[in-house]
Amino acid sequence: MRSVKFILAAGAASLMSTAVLAADMPIAPPPQMYAPPPVEDFGGWYLRGDIGFSNQKVKNLDIANYRDPGITIPSQKLGFDTGGIYQIGVGYQFNNWFRGDITGQYRGSANFHGLDLVSFNGVPLGADTYSGSKSEWVVMANAYVDLGTWWCVTPFVGAGVGMSRNTISNFVDQGVSFNPAFGTSPTTAYAANASKWNFAWALHTGLAYKVNPGMTVELGYSYMNLGDGVTGALTDFQGATRGNTFTFKDITSHDVKLGVRWNIDSPPAYAPPPPLIRKG
């Protein structure tokens, strides 16, 4: 009986010793967690589309007849109505502050109106009233610098160079003489439609708002220099064609556009942690 009690006491002591040793053993740390890498706010290729309107000017209207000695134009008032702008393009975001794109732009027909006074050796000779319309196709390579982001809004500046195909249509010249020596009857001349390719350049600025990682909305302003435009040969009211053409010198425009950029390979919204690998 005493031997049984001894065995039970020894067993209890052994269990207590094992429990104490187990309590003193270090606890294995939990598996290491991997935080996802920070997501970049830029990346890759994008498509763009813009619509807007133009406010255009022309420096002067030049014709070979007015280059004769003694003839001057003391006053010339020229202007265009507002025209629509439609643009598409493809670009690349190189980093979080620099991007570039290539755009194709159609600048819709804008009505032209003008008036000039003509003098000969200081004596008023007559006046001409002009009408017509102008449109352009423009291809431009552009580069932009983003100037930081505040509350999801990013101001930017940029510049572009390219080519502009300027088309003058439906040009009409209605003239009247002030000097009886040249005849007082009104005259009318028409010009055939004509187009001219020119070197073009632009300066850009605006604000961009990132709606989500794949879409950005832009409100932009551009100053465009589109070069010259030219009419076809003038034909008078009697049908006589003398080969004279008018040249629209130094066409410029102040443009306002609203656009959208679609990032076609934007970074993922989150990056999953790497798989946990255990040895043994």
Q: What pLDDT, in 10s, does the model give residues 62-110? A: 876 666 666 667 668 899 999 999 999 999 999 989 999 999 999 999 9
DSSP state at residue 47: E
Percent of the chain with pLDDT strictly greater than 90: 53
Q: How would DSSP label each residue in 115-172? A: EEEEEETTEEEEEEEEEEEEEEEEEEEEEEEE---BTTEEEEEEEEEEEEEEEEEEEE
CB of 258 within 8 A of CB of 235? no
pLDDT band at 22 (very low <50, low <70, confident <90, very high): very low
Q: What pLDDT does residue 182 have?
A: 57
168 token code pair: 């003058």
Q: pLDDT tens digit string along 148-172?
A: 999 889 999 999 999 999 999 999 9
Write down the pTM of the prediction: 0.75
Structure tokens given for 49: 């589309």
Strand partners, 121: none
Q: What is the token pair recorded at 234?
A: 């003038």
Percentage of the chain with pLDDT > 70? 69
DSSP 8-state assignment for residue 27? P
Contacts of 140 (CB under 8 A, 6+ apart): 102, 103, 105, 160, 161, 162, 200, 202
Look at residue 236 in the predicted model and tell me its pLDDT. 77
pLDDT band at 179 (very low <50, low <70, confident <90, very high): low
Token look-up 């003489």 returns 177
Q: What is the number of residues in the chain? A: 280
**Confidence (pLDDT) at 15:** 47
Half-sphere exposure (CA, 13 Å, Cβ side) for 169? 11
Interior angle at CA 72, CA 71 and CA 73, nearest 5: 135
pLDDT for position 181: 60
Angle at 190 (CA atoms; ends 186, 191), nearest 5 degrees: 150
- In angstroms, the Cα distances linking 96 to 44, 139, 148, 262, 265 are 11, 26, 9, 16, 15
Phi-psi region of 69 (alpha: psi -120 to 50; beta: other; left: phi over 0): beta
